[in-house]
Homo-oligomer: A and B are copies of this chain.
Amino acid sequence: MHPTLWVAAWVLLLKGCAMGQATQAASARTDVRDCSAEPPYLPPTATNTTARLAALRATMRAHGVHAYIVPSTDAHMSEYIAERDSRLGWLTGFTGSSGTGVVTQDKAALWTDSRYWTQAERQLDCNWELQRTIWVKSIGQWILEAVPVGGNIGLDPFLFSIDSWNSYSQALHGSGRTLLPIETNLVDQVWGDERPPPASSQIYSLPAEFTGSSWQEKVARIRQDLEQHTRHPTAVLLSGLEETAWLFNLRGDDIPYNPVFYSYTLLTNTTISLFVDEARLAAGARQSLRAGCPGPLCVELLEYGRARAHLHQYTQGNVTVWLGTEYTNYGLYGVIPQEKLLEDSYSPVMLAKAVKNTKEQELLRAAHVRDAVAVIQYLLWLERTVPQGKVDEFSGAQHIDALRRAQEHSRGPSFQSISASGLNAALAHYSPSNRSSRKLAVDEMYLLDTGGQYLDGTTDITRTVHWGVPTPLQKEAYTRVLMGNIDLSRLIFPPNTAGRTVESIARRPLWDVGLNYGHGTGHGIGNFLSVHEWPVGFQSNNVPLTAGMFTSIEPGYYRDGEFGIRIEDVALVVEAQTEHQSGEEPFLTFEVVSLVPYDRNLIDLSLLSPEQIRYLNTYYETIRARVGPELQRQRLEDEYHWLQQSTEPFPLASAATIATTMATTALGMLPIASLLSALLPGLQA
């Protein structure tokens, strides 16, 4: 799936371009708002926010707040959030997964990244200005202009990570404006009874066959991390929902697409406190957690809402609490005295979770084989039905979801399927709806970015296809995106390499001809957890790549108003076999575990180097060897045949390659002549 965070430089780079194009097209388009028209034009997709804003402004006045910041996340910095936490969505109408709103008495603005600019223009009404950047500096600047010296900038401290709180603090530093934490959320006050209730569904233990190790083993390992750290922390605070779910091998469904549940954990060297709605725990789960009571492996169950008070009490003692500043909220952080804090970007649980053990690797590999079956079924189905004009983006998305659900251990999609035809795919993030869904056609490209949750693993794959005759630019761009995917996938690199320092390898074939893409190149992924699993990936705040990590590799290319391309696979970091070795540890490379062939119709073989073709052929052999038997087991004979056709080896030396070799200098002709005489001994006779 599309990466969440974008390299800031690309966002800046693309900003001007996309803005220019939006302006040009504005008058001709009826799907986006036009606030400069008289009267302002709003598409049917926009939400009227006038009453909500008026109510919020009244509450702000009551609290003496001059600007109020509304982020898109929840108290756990979750990427996907429950409806109940969709405060920004309710207030603005904008339903993109990432954004920030700021409201003053006479202004309101929304900041979001380039994935969502068009979507925002479709969903916002004219109460809101759209800011095409995500930099806190820019938000701070806007606030400085909108709020006079002496003003209060209000926010809910539970909805800001330590790092983002600090960014706001720095942006307003020395400006005479005060950052004012208000524990009562003002949007919730206004939302009132209409706000959805808390989740009530069951929280359950993952069967042992689907876990890499028992929760007791995981606890022991983290306690070892505590002991071995030079600062000797006494506890680790888990604020990310995946941290608690992973640690205890528990799952729930409080949040769409992510099998997690609202919780915090305080794991100390002697105790374990799990803050959760105890009534929701399945009997088996409760039994597992309480089996070690009393003792160091007894899990004390406490109310979710008690986390802050408990932490406050715990930190009265001679303790040191270790936490991850990237995602722990400022509301909890604020109760811990500075000298009792051990701050890292990520907790040791996040880092342990990121490196999958052998069993977890096998589980994830197995999930990807079944996932490939569903995607292959879908691609073949498209080939048959698209020419009949029977498929649109929405029905296509429903079909791939259904095919996945039919696979063993399926627990539904891992994110909202992106099924985008023609120009819609140029919105790197786009999901069709019942209301607006473009028909798939043989003369347009189609981009499918989908994934599944299975008890053994989470998947995420993007394929772009064309059933007719692609334009030369489409073919060149697709091939260059593929070359980037291949070059990064086959990269050999030293241990301790940060993803951000090598992701240019995936961009280079596009850069060569002046093309690029405006998003990151990949993200970690979980074992039946999040489809975007931090801190793995190719962004600046990701940790170095280590054997056992899984990451997506997903270059793309988007041409506004025309088409979009993305080719995404999930890959496991593995040890590489190299002739030499610098350093004590082996070099690393990737093993691609997504197993679906690329569209041959879009590949311009003459652009590929022999090494790229060789890699592709080896990858196709792997697909055949691993997915072929599963297709046969499932008696999918047509799909098996399709797979064999689609994975035929490519000729290593294409006509173009030979032509290049022949069109050489006079000096270069010499060896060719020698070779010719060797190949054709009769010639000279």
Task: Spell out A's residues near B (CB within 8 Å).
Answer: 7, 9-10, 12-14, 16-17, 20, 141, 144, 173-174, 230, 338-341, 491-498, 500-505, 508, 511-516, 544, 576, 578-587, 609-610, 649-655, 657-662, 664-665, 667-668, 670-672, 674-676, 679-680, 683
Contact = CB atoms under 8 A, between A and B. Distances in A.
A8 to B, nearest CB: 9
A412 to B, nearest CB: 36
B680 A653 contact: no
Contacts of A586: 514
Contacts of A664: 651-653
Contact of A9 (B497, B582, B609): B497
A504 B495 contact: no
Nearest to A15: B583
Contacts of A679: 662
B651 A668 contact: yes
A321 to B, nearest CB: 12
A491 B511 contact: yes
B680 A651 contact: no
B493 A9 contact: no
Contacts of A579: 513-514
A508 to B, nearest CB: 7
Nearest to A500: B501
Nearest to A505: B504
A81 to B, nearest CB: 31
Given A504-B505, A652-B664, A664-B652, A511 B584 contact: no
Nearest to A580: B514
B498 A9 contact: yes
Q: Could you say how many copies of this chain the assembly holds? A: 2
A661 B665 contact: no
A111 to B, nearest CB: 17
A650 B668 CA distance: 8
A172 to B, nearest CB: 12
Contacts of A503: 501
**Which of A651, A653, A657, A679 has the most chain B CB within a 10 Å cutoff?**
A653
A651 B665 contact: yes
What are the 5 tightest A-B residue pairs by CB atom distance, in nearest-first order?
A514-B578, A174-B339, A651-B667, A655-B671, A653-B668
Contact of A654 (B502, B544, B671): B671
A493 B511 contact: yes
A232 to B, nearest CB: 11
Contact of A662 (B174, B339, B341, B675): B675
A494 B13 contact: yes
Nearest to A510: B582
Contacts of A514: 492, 576, 578-582, 586-587
16 contacts: A9-B497, A9-B498, A12-B496, A13-B496, A13-B585, A141-B230, A174-B339, A174-B341, A492-B512, A497-B504, A514-B582, A515-B580, A609-B609, A652-B664, A653-B668, A658-B672
Given A651-B668, A653-B668, 20 more contacts: A7-B501, A9-B544, A13-B496, A13-B583, A14-B582, A14-B583, A16-B583, A174-B338, A492-B512, A493-B511, A505-B508, A512-B578, A514-B579, A610-B660, A610-B661, A652-B667, A653-B664, A655-B674, A676-B680, A680-B680
A513 B578 contact: yes
A311 B318 CA distance: 44
Contacts of A676: 676, 680
A651 B671 contact: yes
A522 to B, nearest CB: 14
A174 to B, nearest CB: 4
A495 B9 CA distance: 9
Contacts of A174: 338-341
Q: Which residue of A516, A649, A679 has the most chain B CB atoms within 10 A of its CB atom?
A: A516
A491 B513 contact: no
Contacts of A141: 230
A566 to B, nearest CB: 15
Among A501, A586, A609, max chain B CB count under 10 A is at A501
Given A582-B17, A658-B675, A504 B493 contact: yes
A514 B579 CA distance: 6
B513 A494 contact: no
A390 B340 CA distance: 66
Nearest to A665: B652
A86 to B, nearest CB: 33
B665 A649 contact: yes
Given A12-B496, A17-B583, A141-B230, A651 B670 contact: yes
A661 B653 contact: yes
Contacts of A660: 610
A4 B231 CA distance: 31
Nearest to A512: B492
